[in-house]
Structure 1
Amino acid sequence: MNRFKQLLLACCLGAALCSCDQVVKHIDSQLAESKEIVKGGGSTKSKNAADDTKKGGKAKYSNLEIPAPLAGVPEQILARKGYTVSYNSSRRVPNWVAWRLTAAHLKGDTKRSESKFHEDEDVAEPRAADADYMRSGYDRGHMCPAGDNKWSQRAMDESFLFTNICPQAPQLNRGDWNEMEQACRKWARKYGEVYVVCGPIFYKKRPKTIGKNKVAVPDAFFKVVLKMKGEPKAIGFIYKNADGNRPKGDYANSVDEVERITGIDFFPALPDEIERKVEAQCQPEEWNL
C-alpha cells in the first residue's frame, strides 16, 4: 500500500512539474510578445521599457521616439503604420504622438485628399467624432501630420484618426504649427532621419471641452525633436493654443524644460550620458532657426 502511494505521489509531482514547465514557457512567450518592437513607423514598448532600455547605460530598443510609460493619467498605446500614440480616454485626445521621420517618408504619390477624418474604433466610446469639431471654432489639428505620411496610403489614412487629432486654434494650425512641421521635414531630408514627439499641454484640471463627446481643448502644444546621426542633438518647442505669428526660435526650449512642463520622460531609450547632454540643450542656431 505504501509503495502504491509513493508511485501515485511521484506521478502527481511529475504531472505538476510538466504543467509548471508549460506555464513558465507560456509566461516567457508572453513577455517576449509584450516587448516586441515593430520597427519603422508604429511601434510599442513593454510597460517596463523605460527601465529595460537603460540597463548598462545602453539603448536596448531602436524606437527612440517612444516616451516612458505615464503615471497618473489614462494611457492606451496604439501602434499605427506611421506613428505611435498614447491615447487619453478621459480627454478624448492623445497624451503624445511619436514617430520616426525619414527622408523616404516624404516621398510618394499618396494624396491627402483621398483620406477623411474618422473615429478610431480601437478606443472605447465616448470618443472624438467629426461632429464634435463642427462650429467649435477649432481646427482638427494633426499631431503626426498628413504630410509626413505620403509614403503609404495606410499611413496617410491613419493620420486622420481622431486619436491623432486635437482641437487647435485655426491660425496656429495653419500658421506657426504648420511651419514647424515643415521644419521637421527639412531636418529629415538634411540628416536622413529625426525622431519627433508632440502632443497637447493642459494647465487646467478641468479644461474647456467641445462637442457632445466633450473633447478637451489643450492650453498649449509641445514638440520635441531628436537627431541621432553624427553628433546627437535635440530641441523642444512650446506653442500656446492661440493665434499668433512668431519666428520658430521664439518657441524653442530645452527638452528638459518640456519634460518639466508635461511630466513626460522623452527618449528614455537613449544611453544616459547622451540623454542628459542633448535634453539640457536649447540651441536654436544649431537647427538654423
Structure 2
Amino acid sequence: MQNRSLKYLLIAFLILTGCKDSEVIPQQSLTLEDEQLLLGNPSAATADMSNFNNYLMLKPQYALSYSRDRGTPNWVSWHVSKDWLGAAERQDDFRADPSLPEGWYRIGSSSYRGTGFDRGHNTPSADRTNTDENNSATFLMTNIIPQAPNNNQETWANLEDYTRELVREGMEVYVIMGSYGAGGTGSNGNVKTIDNGRITVPNRIWKVLVVLPEGNNDLERINTSTRVIAVDTPNSNTVSSDWGSYRTTVDAIEAATGYDLLSALPIDLQRGLESQVDTEPIQ
C-alpha cells in the first residue's frame, strides 16, 4: 500500500510538472538595450576594444556595430513604436561620440563638410521624438554614414516616413540598417573616402524591417506570415526616390555582408522569412 501511494504521488508530481512546463510564461520586461537588439546581433559584435572593426555599442535608443577603420557603423538596430514618438524637436547637435574607446579617432560634426555627402542617420532623428535626450542621441556620429544627398533626402526619407506611417496605423517595427562596400557618388562625384581617408564612403546602403501589430512578447509573435521588408540601394545621387523598387531578400543582404540577420528567430522561420521579397503595395 505504501509503494502504491508513493507511485500515485509520483504520477501526480509528473502531471503537475508537465502542466507547468506547458504554461505560457509572460515575457519579462526587456531592458532598452535588449529591445534594440531583439532580432539578434548580426555580426556577433562584442564590446571588446580589440574587436575594433566590429565593436558593439549599446545605447538606450539603438544598438550598433562600429568599425574604427571605416569610421562608420557596420549596422544599427532599433525599435520604432508609438512610445518612441512624440513632440520633441530635432536637436541637430551632430557631435563625436564620447563613449568610443580612448585613443580611437572620433568623427566630428565637421568631418563631412564640403565632401558632397550628407551626414546620413541610421536611426532617424524622427524615430526618436519622445524626449529631447533621445532625439539628441541620434546625432552622435557613430550613428552616421556618408550618404548621397538624394539617397538620404528622398529615397531613404520616403522609407523612414513609411515606417512611421505604419506605426501610426497601429504597427510596431524592428529595424536593422547598414552599409557595405567602398565608393559612393555624392554631389561632388564618386569617392571612396572622406576626412583624409578616415571615413569610408559606402557603396551600398541596406535596411531590413520586421513589421508587427502592436502587442507584447514581440519575438514570440513573429511567424511565417510576418511582413519583412528588405531594401538595398546604391549610395548614389542618381538613385530613384522610389525605395520600393530596391526591395530584395534578407538572404541577398546576408550574402553581400556576411551577417546573420534575424538570428534570434528559429532557423526554419528565418529560412522562410529571409527568402521572400516584400510585394505589398506601399502607396
TM-score (structure 1 length as normaliser): 0.73
Classify the secondary structure of the residue corresponding to 2:80.
Answer: strand
**Residue 228 of structure 2 aligns with which residue?**
234
1:7 maps to none
The answer to whether the 8 A contact 2:158-2:241 is kept is no
Deviations 1:118-176 (A, max 9, x none): 00111142121122111111110000000000012222111000000001111111111
Q: Distance in 1 between matches of 2:154 and 2:92?
A: 22
2:59 counterpart of 1:64: no
- Residue 109 of structure 1 aligns with which residue? 87
Q: Does the 8 A contact of 1:225 with 1:234 survive in 2?
A: yes
Report the AA paired with residue 84 of structure 2: H
The separation in 2 between residues aligned to 1:100 and 1:40, in whole angstroms, is 12
Aligned 8 A contact 2:182 2:192 in 1 = no
How many Å separate the matches in 2 of 1:135 and 1:119?
Answer: 18
Cα contact 1:99–1:195 (8 A) shared by 2: yes
Q: 1:78 to 1:223 in 2, by over 3 A?
A: same
User: Partners of 2:32 and 2:171 in 1: how far apart?
Assistant: 15
| Distance across 1 between alignment mates of 2:212 and 2:265 | 10
Secondary structure of 1:249's partner?
helix
- Worse overlay, 139-148 or 149-158: 149-158
Q: 4+ residue runs of structure 1 moved beyond 4 angstroms? A: 70-73
2:252 equivalent in structure 1: 257
Give the corresponding residue for 2:118: 139
Matched, 1:89 2:68: yes
| Structure 2 residue aligned with 1:98 | 77
Q: Please report how far the alpha carbon of residue 208 of structure 1 lies from its aligned counterpart in structure 2 after TM superposition.
A: 1.6
Question: What is the TM-score normalised by the length of structure 2?
Answer: 0.74
Q: CA RMSD in A?
A: 2.6
In the alignment, the residues of structure 1 paired with residue 266 and residue 249 of structure 2 have an alpha-carbon distance, to the nearest angstrom, of 18
How far is 1:38 from its partner? 8.8
Counterpart check, 1:214 vs 2:214: no
- Structure 2: gaps of 5 or more residues: 1-27, 184-190, 214-220
Call closer, same or farther: CA 1:134–1:38 in 2, change over 3 Å.
Answer: farther
Greater share of helix residues, 1 or 2?
Answer: 1
Distance (Å, rounded) in 2 between the aligned partners of 1:271 and 1:152? 35
Task: State the match for 1:276 in structure 2.
Answer: 271
The one of 30, 34, 51 aligned to 1:43: 34
Q: Which runs of 5+ in 1 are unaligned?
A: 1-36, 46-61
Percent pairwise identity: 29
Shift of 1:184: 1.3
Paired residues in the alignment total 232
User: In structure 1, what is the equivalent of residue 15 of structure 2?
Assistant: none
1:175 corresponds to which letter in structure 2?
Answer: E
> What are the Cα deviations for residues 209-242 of structure 1, in whole angstroms up to 9, with x where unaligned?
1114611111110000112447323121011111
State the alpha-carbon separation in 2 of the partners of residues 191 and 273 from structure 1. 28
Higher mean alpha-carbon deviation, 157-166 vs 114-123, is at 114-123
Counterpart CA distance in 2 for 1:183 and 1:42 is: 24
Instruction: Determine helix, strand or coil for the equivalent of 2:73.
Output: strand
Q: Report the Cα distance in structure 2 between the residues aligned to 1:252 and 1:171, rounded to whole angstroms.
A: 18
Matched, 1:153 2:132: yes
Contact 2:52 2:66 (C-alpha < 8 Å) held by counterparts:
no
Distance 1:227 1:65 in 2: 16
Q: Identify the match of residue 118 of structure 1 among 95, 108, 112.
A: 95
> Quick one: structure 1 residues 82 and 198, their matched pair in 2 at CA, closer, same or farther if it must change by over 3 Å?
same
The alpha-carbon distance between structure 1 residues 131 and 288, as it changes in their structure 2 partners (threshold 3 A), is closer
Cα distance change on mapping 1:101 and 1:66 into 2, 3 Å: farther
